[in-house]
Amino acid sequence: MGKITEPMLAELRQEAAITRRVLERVPEAKLAWKPHPKSMSLGELALHTAGIPGGLSKLALLEEFDAGQANFNPPSPKNVEEILAAHDQGVREAEERLRGMSDQSAVGTWRLLVNGKELFTRQRIDMLRSVLLNHWIHHRGQLSVYLRLLDVPVPVIYGRSADENPLA
C-alpha cells in the first residue's frame, strides 16, 4: 500500500461505519417511497449510497471514464439485506483497491469525460476524495433527510442527532 492512500483508507473505514448505521435504519416497507416525483425512491437512494465505494473505487482504476456512456438509473433493491450486503461488499472492494494502489498511481492523472469531451482532469487521489468520499457523504445526507421525513430515528452521524445523543 502506498503511503498517500493511508489517510483515505482510514477515512473510508470511518465513513463506512457511519453509512452502515444510516442504512440499517431504512424501513423495508418504505423502499418504494419518494419525497417528490423527481426524487429517487428510498430503496434506490439507499442502494446507490451503498454501492458508491465499490463502484467509484473501480472507476478510479481506469485512466478515464466517459459518463455519457453510463447508465445512471438506479436499480430498486428487493430488501434491506440486499442494501447492506452491497454496502459491505463495496467497502471491502474499495479497501482492497486503496490498499493496492501505489503512490505513483494515486498521483496519476484521471479524467472524466462526457460524450468524449473532457469535463475535468485530476490526480486519482483527488478524484477519490471528491467523487468517492464527498459524493458518498452527500447521498448519505440525503438519505438521513428521507429517514427524518418518514419519522425514522436518525442515527448519530458526526455528533448528536435529534434522536440520539452520544454525549448524554
Question: What CATH number is given to the structural domain containing 124?
Answer: 1.20.120.450
Report the b/e string of 2-33 with b at 16+ CB within 10 A.
bebbeebbeebeebbeebbebbebbeeeebee
Number of domains in the chain: 1
Q: Which residue stretches of the chain have pLDDT < 50?
A: none
Give domain status of residue 64, yes or no.
yes
Give domain status of residue 168, yes or no.
no
Domain that holds residue 99: 6-149
Give domain status of residue 19, yes or no.
yes
Give domain status of residue 161, yes or no.
no
Give domain status of residue 163, yes or no.
no
Give domain status of residue 67, yes or no.
yes
